[in-house]
Structures are given as C-alpha cells and as structure tokens.
Amino acid sequence: MFLTKNRIYNELFDVFEQSFSNGLPCMKSINYKVDDDNLNVTLDVPGFSKDNLNISAEHNVITIDGECTDRQINKSYKVGSNWDLSKASASVTNGVLDLKIPKFEAKRKKNIEIKVK
C-alpha cells in the first residue's frame, strides 16, 4: 500500500499542532520515522537537558514543556489513535530529544504462518 506524504502525516499527527514559544527559538526541527512497531520522533531542543524538560501525554496529545537560561518551550502534538502513549519513552542527548511511541499491540502488523495440510 502506498501512502502520500500528507496522508502519512495525517495518520500520525491528525494534522494538529499547537506551538507556543517565548524567548529565543528553541525547537528548530521535528523529524519522524515510522517502522512496523513504533513512531520515532526527533526534535532539536538546543540548550535543554533532562532536568529542564517535561514531557506529558494525555488524550492522544504529547506536550513538551521546558525552561532554561534564556528559553522557554511549550509545544503540543496530537498523535493518531494507533499509538500507545502510556508506553512512550524519551531521551535527550546534546540538544536532541528522541521520543519513541509504540503502536498498540492490536494495531501492529502480524505475520500469519501458512500451514500445509
């Protein structure tokens, strides 16, 4: 099945993004990649670390809040219903935030063994 770029984006994020940023620009880019089991999101967050970022998830919305010396960040992204936010994980390294959000087990691709009779 071939999906257009817009349709893939719609499926992943339901075309909903709210962004609020005070001070200097703090999120320069967002990239995402989908594999069979996960939505992997990478965001540039220069100047931020684990200690000054907070990520929460509620009602299919991921919210990223943070404050450091001269920057403040508040961004929300709504993801589609295929993604299990309760099992999401995050890490930040050298100003890059990595989010990994697994698909619900029922939504994952399954291989069905073919038996010969």
Q: Does position 108 have pLDDT exceeding 70, yes or no?
A: no
C-beta of residue 26 within 8 angstroms of C-beta of residue 70: no
Higher pLDDT, 12 or 70: 70
Domain layout of the chain by residue ranges:
5-104
How far apart, in Å, are the Cα atoms of 28 and each of 3, 44, 46, 86, 92? 26, 6, 9, 26, 15
Confidence grade of residue 15 (pLDDT, cut at 50, 70, 90)? very low
In tens, the pLDDT along 73-102 reads 888 888 888 889 999 999 999 989 999 999
C-beta of residue 64 within 8 angstroms of C-beta of residue 55: yes
Higher pLDDT, 106 or 90: 90
For residue 76, give the nearest of 35, 52, 41 by alpha carbon: 41
In tens, the pLDDT along 59-69 reads 888 999 988 88
Answer yes or no: CATH 3.60.40.10 is held by domain 5-104: no
Three-class SS state of 25: coil
Three-class SS state of 24: coil
Tell me what pLDDT residue 22 has: 39
C-beta of residue 66 within 8 angstroms of C-beta of residue 24: no
